[in-house]
Amino acid sequence: MIAHFVGNGSSRSYFNHQYGTIIVGNIPKEPMQFTACSIIDTKVIDYLVTQNKDLHNQQVWCTQQLADYAKKKNIDGIWHTIYQSQYRYNSGHHAVNHLSQNKHIKIIHLWGMDSMWSEDLTSEMDDRVIRPRRPALNQQWRPHWLTLFSKYDKRYIIHAPKGIKEVDYGAKAKFEYH
């Protein structure tokens, strides 16, 4: 079985599959079919409140803290509290870690995860969830990827633009270029 995590970096535009388990980071701008949203940031809930939106019958993978916050703010959705807070884990780390625990999933594709190979931390959420200047989180996120990929007996395929400088994430992770 195959799974996909679709992040919010500009390379998410390479994603064009509609098979397997599809998890999206936060809330995608473009309409697409997906299995669940991975949300760990209360600012996403605040955005939903200010825009008078909810997630209706959407599956959301999150922490207990986020589910409680969404309930307090009356945001509808199907909240699965499957994450434990981890310092400097992003929604992609959490989702890929959870997907990796599924014995039926053999390959996990990562799309729109530009911070895995570049200094670019921009997100398609940036115009909806305004953030102060971010520290160089990619330098803190990358060691988590290496640890996560080495922990499970899976294959990880990182989708990236041609010409990037690869980061070594170990033998189980490979780059595929578009």
Average pLDDT, the chain: 90
End-to-end CA distance of the chain: 23
The CA distance from 177 to 131, in Å, is 30
Q: At what angle do helices 137-151 and 91-100 cross, to 10 degrees?
A: 0
Q: What is the mean pLDDT of residues 1-20?
A: 91
Question: What's the domain count of the chain?
Answer: 1
* Model confidence pLDDT, tens digit, residues 111-168: 999 999 988 766 665 566 666 666 667 677 789 999 999 999 999 999 999 999 999 9
Summarised one tens digit per residue, pLDDT across range 138-149 is 677 789 999 999
pLDDT of residue 131: 63
Q: How far apart are CA 174 and CA 63, in angstroms?
A: 29
Give pLDDT, residue 119.
Answer: 80
Tokens of 157: 């395929």
Does residue 23 contact residue 35 with C-beta atoms inside 8 Å?
Answer: yes
Determine the average pLDDT of the residues in 6-23: 91
Which helix (H) or strand (E) covers residue 4, if one does? strand 2-6
Full domain range(s) for residue 129: 2-177
Query: 101: closest CA among 89, 83, 125, 87?
Result: 83
Structure confidence at residue 88 (pLDDT): 84
Confidence label for 17 from pLDDT (cuts 50, 70 and 90): confident
Instruction: Tell me the whole-structure pTM to 2 decimals.
Output: 0.90
- Residue pLDDT, tens place only, 64-109: 999 999 999 999 999 999 999 988 889 999 999 999 999 999 999 9
Closest by CA to 26, choosing from 46, 40, 13, is 40
Taking the C-alpha atoms of residue 92 and residue 72, their distance in angstroms, rounded to an integer, is 25
User: 142, exposed or middle or buried, with CB in 10 Å at 0-12, 13-18, 19+?
Assistant: middle
